[in-house]
């Protein structure tokens, strides 16, 4: 835990024993030992550099693809919400975008500057850092095909410039080839020139269609499972008769079977149990092993295992 005298060296905001339920779209999660929001990249680098070498560090965006277990997180959460959110227009229809920029803001910036190819970002309910970490996508588009380069930060506060060649990139998965602990702090993205108003109109129509088919406005993480090859997770779950199935306060959405809703003060253990039941049922009835798109983190409660 950081001393008050050391904290005075930093410009960001540090919270102790912070409830993660306040920072995830599921509104679920135990407390984090430390929760830090940096002022800028330099402040972030200095803060990380003074943490113990073995400190567990979690980078957090909008918490829209995250389940934090009930016993919380032992270590430090770095929140990029409200930080590292600058966008700079470069030459040749490219942008330099901070990892704390919301994907929706990025899409709007593209429209205003008559850049096309980034419409899909409007459908990603998170920050660019998270989109880079998992190759997030929507409306048929994915993040990494738009990446020219990224800037990463390591535990020593050192920055590196990386390209797609430094990672193994696939559907909803990004793995660093260099096998080092680094986090994305910005990216240079490539787009094309075009009619921004027409692109915005297409996005509006797509979002309206999504609102009609997904439980928008309810506490969830979005899609829980990755779509298997040549199929849809939601269809498999629905065919198993699991729509509206409930464990504790967590329920499979009646509107879209690949959504789990915090319907009644759910615990993380309720959601995790429901995820496992869905996986087991789909495996038994269809022979398909569903992989989670949501990331599950935090201390395991051995009493409930």
Active-site annotation, residues: 172, 223, 293
Q: Please count the CA atoms within 13 angstroms of the CA of 23 that sit on its side-chain side.
A: 24
- Report the C-alpha gap between 104 and 125 in whole angstroms: 7
- The answer for residues whose C-beta is within 8 angstroms of residue 61's C-beta and 6 or more apart is 80, 81, 100, 126, 127, 129, 130
- The answer for residues whose C-beta is within 8 angstroms of residue 290's C-beta and 6 or more apart is 225, 226, 228, 233, 236, 278, 279, 282, 283
Q: Choose among 187, 185, 261, 193: nearest CA to 222.
A: 261
Neighbouring-strand partners of residue 95: 89, 189
- Report the C-alpha gap between 139 and 69 in whole angstroms: 30
């Amino acid at each position: 835990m950081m001393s008050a005298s050391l904290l005075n060296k930093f410009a960001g905001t540090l919270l102790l024993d912070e409830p993660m339920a306040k920072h995830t779209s599921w509104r679920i999660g135990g407390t984090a030992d430390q929760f830090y929001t940096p002022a800028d990249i330099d402040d972030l680098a200095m803060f990380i550099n003074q943490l113990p070498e073995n400190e567990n560090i979690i980078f957090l965006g909008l918490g829209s693809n995250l389940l934090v277990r009930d016993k919380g997180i032992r270590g430090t959460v770095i929140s990029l919400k409200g930080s590292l959110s600058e966008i700079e227009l470069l030459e040749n229809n490219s942008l330099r975008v901070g990892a704390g920029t919301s994907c929706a803001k990025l899409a709007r910036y593209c429209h205003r500057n008559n850049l096309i190819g980034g419409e899909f970002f409007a459908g990603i309910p998170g920050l660019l850092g998270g989109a880079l970490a998992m190759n997030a996508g929507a409306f048929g588009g994915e993040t990494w095909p738009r990446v020219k380069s990224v800037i990463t930060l390591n535990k020593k506060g050192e920055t590196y410039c990386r390209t797609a060649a430094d990672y193994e990139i696939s559907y909803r998965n990004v793995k660093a080839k260099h096998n080092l602990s680094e986090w994305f702090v910005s990216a240079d993205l490539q787009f094309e020139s075009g009619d921004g108003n027409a692109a915005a109109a297409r996005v509006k129509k797509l979002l309206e269609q999504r609102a009609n088919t997904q439980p928008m406005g309810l506490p969830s993480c979005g899609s829980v499972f990755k779509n298997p090859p040549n199929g849809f997770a939601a269809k498999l779950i629905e065919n198993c008769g699991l729509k509206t199935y409930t464990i504790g306060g967590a329920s499979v959405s009646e509107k879209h079977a690949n959504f789990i809703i915090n319907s009644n003060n759910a615990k993380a253990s309720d959601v995790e149990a429901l995820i496992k039941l869905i996986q087991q049922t789909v495996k038994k009835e269809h022979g398909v092993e569903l992989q989670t798109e949501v990331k599950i983190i935090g201390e395991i409660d051995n009493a409930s295992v």
